Structure 1
Amino acid sequence: MIDPNSLSTANLHPQQPQHELGRPPRIGLYGGSFDPIHLGHLKTARYVLEHMDLDYMYILPNASPPHKSSLKLPYATRVEMIAAALRDFNDPRFQISYIEQDPSLKHYTVNTLQLFHQEHPETEVFFIMGMDSFLTLDTWRSYERLIELANIVILPRPHYDYEEHALKPELAALTQNRLVDLRHVTPHPPAPATQATKAAEAVKAAEPQGHRYYILPAPEVDVSSTEIRALLKQGYSKLNASQRQLLSQTLSPSTLEYIRAQQLYMAVSN
């Protein structure tokens, strides 16, 4: 088990982005509780990486997010599950960021982005959030500063519709001439291997004018950590074949193995 207190600044980021690209590395920052991390998270992360033409994607587990009163599992355990999932994912572009490791602090996004820039100078950062978060962005601490620190990548969420004319005045002013809607960049159905390319071209065309808010098409993800926890709570030994299959289809093999070995979320496990 990882002890968060043992994570010194020297080993927070074991694989720093290399400046072999002839330009600042483009880094995605994907925060969440990941309680537990599932294949939908990884699919979303890869989806953003490809559509935004990123070089790296950092998975950022929250130790104590201001908007959540409690988490089911401690930070170190959730980090272990993420590490297990990334081993199975086997893509060196995907790393873990430990910036929010201190559970005694409320980690506000503006502070996280400032610290991330200190750890990763001379990089272009793309911070990922859901449409539900974006529509309430004016309630976040120092929300006006976020766009100064990073590009904001917005993913649609069910029941949260974006209509420019319906934005709060604060958000309308903040996003004026800065919002790039990529949801309709490519006609449907797209030709093979063109959707991400065209989206990336639109991204690069907008970037010389500074950081932007990018709205991506919704990735096809039909799984939630809440549903997974509800299944695991019953105890793996009590699940039927279809329920076990669902877990194997939504969790990476090593993550599920770790959860079962540690009897996480479960009343009974075998």
Structure 2
Amino acid sequence: MARELTDDAGPGDNQPTAPQRIGVFGGTFDPPHIGHFATAVNVAAELDLDQMLLVVANSPWQKLGTRPITPAEDRYAMVAAGAALFELVEASRIELDRGGETYSADTLEELRELHPTAELFLVVGSDAADGLDTWKRPDVVRELATIVVVDRAGREGGVPPQGWNYVKVDTPRLEVSSSDLRRRAEVGDPLDVLIPAAVIDVIRGRSLYRRHD
């Protein structure tokens, strides 16, 4: 069952041991689909993680102005519904609660405060890996996290620039497009298999992606 991100347990608290190997997989998740969850599960298994956080972007700076973004709370509800199906995978609203534009450096700093002894592993697609030096405060990202590079269907091969600590993890390269899924939802085409049923329930229950004439 997915849990929201919380502070580490204090002395005497009757809580589980704090995670020591944490995966951080950020995204717009508009909507989250089987490709996202397959990546999360496979990275968690390959790297023996204690926790894999699906971090919902509050305001993804790289997509602002390119298209309408589904409200953050709706995207979080979809991710939480899907994450609940997979062991070790958890929805995180850390960026929603912080507000403002979404930057990995800020998120990693906050996670370091919450989990001071944990190893952090930041998942990035191979299509973005070679551009890490252009991110906001790349020195902070480089210092706080090991980069986990996963190939995306049709966009394989990219790696971080020299000086970055990274590993590559082979994950299923499922050709699933969020933009195609939004189009399918808008016209009422089936989403089964491409999106977990629990996420589809959220989409239908909140009337997300439907055309409003």
| Smaller-chain TM-score bracket | 0.7 to 0.9
Question: Do the aligned partners of 2:41 and 2:86 also contact (CA within 8 Å) in 1?
Answer: no
Aligned to 2:5: 13
Distance in 2 of aligned mates of 1:76 and 1:97: 11
SS of the residue 1:221 aligns to: coil
Aligned to 1:226: 179
Letter in 2 for 1:120: H
Question: Do the aligned partners of 2:94 and 2:107 also contact (CA within 8 Å) in 1?
Answer: yes
Deviation at 1:161, TM superposition (A): 2.9
Aligned to 1:257: 201
- Tell me the TM-score normalised to structure 2 length: 0.84
Aligned to 1:80: 77
- Tell me the TM-score normalised to structure 1 length: 0.68
Unaligned 5+ segments in structure 2 are: 10-15
Question: Do the aligned partners of 2:8 and 2:114 also contact (CA within 8 Å) in 1?
Answer: no
Aligned to 1:161: 157
Deviation at 1:32, TM superposition (A): 0.2
Question: Do the aligned partners of 1:44 and 1:221 also contact (CA within 8 Å) in 2?
Answer: no
SS of the residue 1:107 aligns to: coil
Matched, 1:60 2:58: no
Aligned to 1:185: none
Matched, 1:94 2:89: yes
Question: Do the aligned partners of 2:151 and 2:173 also contact (CA within 8 Å) in 1?
Answer: no
Pick from 99, 106, 112: which aligns with 1:111?
106
Aligned to 2:12: none
Aligned to 1:141: 136
CA RMSD of the aligned region, Å? 2.4
Question: Do the aligned partners of 1:155 and 1:216 also contact (CA within 8 Å) in 2?
Answer: yes
Identity across matched positions, percent: 30
Aligned to 1:267: 211
Pick from 34, 38, 43: which aligns with 1:43?
38
1:78-106 deviations in Å (ceiling 9; x for gaps) = 1111121123x142x12122111158512
SS of the residue 1:214 aligns to: strand
Deviation at 1:151, TM superposition (A): 0.9
Deviation at 1:230, TM superposition (A): 1.0
Which structure has the larger Rg over C-alpha atoms?
A: 1
Runs of 4+ in 1 over 6 A off after TM superposition: none
Letter in 1 for 2:192: S
Larger relative helix fraction: 1
Unaligned 5+ segments in structure 1 are: 1-10, 176-211
SS of the residue 2:143 aligns to: helix
Alignment length (residue pairs): 201
Give the 3 Å change call, closer, same or farther, for CA 16–256 of structure 1 in structure 2. Answer: farther
Question: Do the aligned partners of 1:129 and 1:152 also contact (CA within 8 Å) in 2?
Answer: yes
Aligned to 1:215: 168
Question: Do the aligned partners of 2:5 and 2:94 also contact (CA within 8 Å) in 1?
Answer: no
